[in-house]
Structure formats: C-alpha cells, structure tokens
Chains A and B, each alone.
Chain A
C-alpha cells in the first residue's frame, strides 16, 4: 500500500492548516497512523502517534485524526507559528511493511 500526501501547503501565522494522508489500499483504520515533523537539516521527530496521541512536549495545537469514509488520516495544526514550518510525514504499516507518505512541505508565511 501507499500513503498519499499533498506536496505542499501554506498558511499564515495564527491560522489553522490540515494535512491529509490517504491510504491507497486497505483500511486506514486497520493500523495506526503516525506523524513526524522534519525541519530543514534535522532528523524527523514524532508529533502524533497512534492516530491521535500527542507525545509529551508536543503542543496541543497539533491534532491527529482518522476518517474511515475517506480512508485518510489528517494532521491539523492550529495557531500556526513560523517554527511549524517543516516537512510533515505520515507513516503506517501492515503485517510486513512500514510505509511513509511522500511528505508535505508546510510553509508559514
């Protein structure tokens, strides 16, 4: 299976943005979806795990959800800050394979 993300999104500081991640085969609800943030020149860091859980230290402006109807997961970031500018990757798995989405570049301008 694959995970399809928009290539890029942009929004203004203080606004809200949603990044989608569509599973191409199999149910999105069958396995957890994780979200990573990768700032330029840095390693990825987890921002959402198990569909909608926030690790400690991640602000509650980050929200994860799953929609079985569209077979997609979403990462919503509210109250955008310039520091949120990064590439965001979704990740999921099946019995034998772990898959990353292609990444979405978020520009906060």
Chain B
C-alpha cells in the first residue's frame, strides 16, 4: 500500500541543524508532488512548501525561505527536510504528505510526523 514513513524524533540545541526523512513506498515516487507541513505544539497546520519529485524543484512558502531546504534521493524514494540555525520556535511536528494524484491539491497519505524539539 501507499505509505510515507518519516524518521524519528530529534532533539537539538538552538543554532544546530536537523535533517528529517520521508521514505515513500507503494507507488512511483517521481509521479506525485510532496508537501511539507509544520504543526507547532497545540497549533494548526502550516504549509511550508512543496517539491516536484520529478524535477527536484522546490517551492517554499513565505516564512520558510533561507533556513529550510527540501531535497530528494529518488534512488531510495525519499524526500528530506533540512532545517539549519534552529530556533526554539522551530519546535514542532513536521509532516510530509503526498499529492493524492498528479496535478491535484489534496494530500493523501501523510507521514506519521517527526517531532523536532529545540531546547538548550
């Protein structure tokens, strides 16, 4: 079945960096766009941007430029989110989610989420 499996929880100090993975299975990885979504503790969903899994071209939402980088390793059907110069406000659950079909704007499935905690 179609599945996205994310890497485990991370604890980092302010100023450090983190790289989260999202491994896809059960479908042709190159055919469906991937989005990244942040959910701060007790808060709602915030779209961070998306990556074209065919070309590798990323698009970042406002507020997620500079320290946030989306990348791919198509050989292992995996998308990555790298966050540098971590701040305490980056403490959140980060989700990857796949476009349900090519050129659609709804997303299914979602990964299980990766909790990133930034604390000194």
**Do the two shown chains form a genuine complex with each other?**
yes
Taking beta carbons and an 8 Å cutoff, which residues of A are in contact with B? 31-32, 34, 36, 38, 43-46, 49-50, 55, 87, 89, 91-93, 96-103
Chain B interface residue count, CB cutoff 8 Å, equals: 23
| Residue in contact with B108 in the complex, picked from A31, A45, A93, A101, CB distance below 8 Å | A45
- Residues on A with beta carbons closer than 8 Å to the beta carbon of B47: 97-100
Contact across chains for A98 and B105 when beta carbons are under 8 A apart: yes
Q: Interface of chain A, helix or strand or loop or mixed?
A: strand
Closest partner residue, chain A, to B48 (CB atom)? A98
| B89 is an interface residue with CB less than 8 A from chain A | no
CB distance from B115 to the nearest CB of A (A): 11
Contact across chains for B61 and A97 when beta carbons are under 8 A apart: yes
**B20-37 interface bits toward A, Cβ cutoff 8 Å, 1 = contact, 0 = none:** 000000000000000101
Closest partner residue, chain A, to B111 (CB atom)? A43
Contact across chains for A103 and B44 when beta carbons are under 8 A apart: yes
- Residues on B with beta carbons closer than 8 Å to the beta carbon of A55: 108
